[in-house]
Amino acid sequence: MIRVSDYERVVFFTGAGMSVESGVPTYRGPGGVWKEYDYEAYACQPAFDRDPTNVWEFHNYRRGLVGACAANRGHQLVAAAAEQVSVTVVTQNIDGLHQLAGTQEVIELHGSLWRVRCDACGAREEDREAPKAVLRCACGAWWRPDIVWFGDALDDASIAGAVSSIGACDLLVSIGTSAVVYPAAQLPLIAREAGAKLLEINPEPTPMSAIYDECMRGTATEMLEALCR
């Protein structure tokens, strides 16, 4: 039985399943509300270049849905673990719920729904407005959601931060990721190569399950209750 308190440097590597119990829908699982929208068509740079108003309508809809969700017990347990051990969260989520629960060290591999950037002048801004009212930067260009869209490269600094924290951890806990989105899916291998213990929390097996020392088949909140006792 793995316990967080038996380790020193723990990385929680989280995906959409982490936020399911907050009511944030996954893309691939049942009940994906994104089905109303063909999200690949609304979440890519060419769509934004063609019709920024349309892409903003979709992202403001997402802001509304996600903004109504609270951090769940699992997010809180991850935040509380930092009182005992060094904790870094490396997340594929863009919902900001780890930060809302109080985790300080969060690396957002896929950006944030709550941050915008201006590709014309380089400005960035954070807010939790839903819907975001002002869609243009002071320089006049459109704000763009600071999210890694389909076809975008991941941010170098985020990747570097993830690689260094994962390479230095002694326990990696993967939670609620289907492990099919690359390159994020491969990051846990770095922990394995570095000799860390690897634990997967997911109700279902994933294509990466075989690399884990142990798999806990259940929801994020239930399994974190056991792990963080």
Q: What does the alpha-carbon distance between residue 94 and residue 100 come to, in Å, rounded to a whole number? A: 12
Q: What does the alpha-carbon distance between residue 74 and residue 226 come to, in Å, rounded to a whole number? A: 11
Q: What does the alpha-carbon distance between residue 90 and residue 212 come to, in Å, rounded to a whole number? A: 17
Length of the chain counted residue by residue: 229
When asked if residue 160 is in the footprint of Zn ion (CB under 5 A), the reply is no
Nearer to Zn ion, 4 or 55 (CB): 55
Which 114-133 residues touch Zn ion, going by CB under 5 A? Answer: 118, 120-121, 123
Give the shortest CB-141-to-Zn ion separation in angstroms.
Answer: 5
Give the shortest CB-135-to-ligand NAD separation in angstroms.
Answer: 21
Nearer to ligand NAD, 27 or 194 (CB): 27
Please count the other Cβ atoms lying within 10 Å of the Cβ belonging to residue 186. Answer: 11
For residue 46, which of 56, 55, 38, 37 has the smallest C-alpha distance?
55
Residue 206 binding target from ligand NAD, Zn ion, none, CB below 5 to 8 Å by type: ligand NAD
Nearer to Zn ion, 71 or 137 (CB): 137
In the complex, the residues that contact ligand NAD under the rule CB under 6 A are 15-17, 19-21, 24, 26-29, 92-95, 110, 175-178, 181, 201-204, 206, 219-220
For residue 118, which of 138, 94, 100 has the smallest C-alpha distance?
138
Residue 16 binding target from ligand NAD, Zn ion, none, CB below 5 to 8 Å by type: ligand NAD
When asked if residue 134 is in the footprint of Zn ion (CB under 5 A), the reply is no
Please identify the residue of the shown chain whose CB is closest to the bound ligand NAD.
17
Q: Quick check: is 110 catalytic?
A: yes
Helix (H, G, I), strand (E, B) or coil at 207: coil
Residue count, binding to Zn ion (CB under 5 A) = 7
Nearer to ligand NAD, 140 or 210 (CB): 210
- Residue from 33, 139, 194, 226 in contact with Zn ion (CB under 5 A): 139
Q: What does the alpha-carbon distance between residue 25 and residue 210 come to, in Å, rounded to a whole number? A: 26
For the chain, helix (H) and strand (E) counts, in that order, are 8, 9
Q: Phi, psi (5° rounding) for residue 111?
A: 85, -165
Report how far Cα 113 is from the mean position of its chain's Cα atoms: 10
Residue 139 binding target from ligand NAD, Zn ion, none, CB below 5 to 8 Å by type: Zn ion
Active site residues: 110
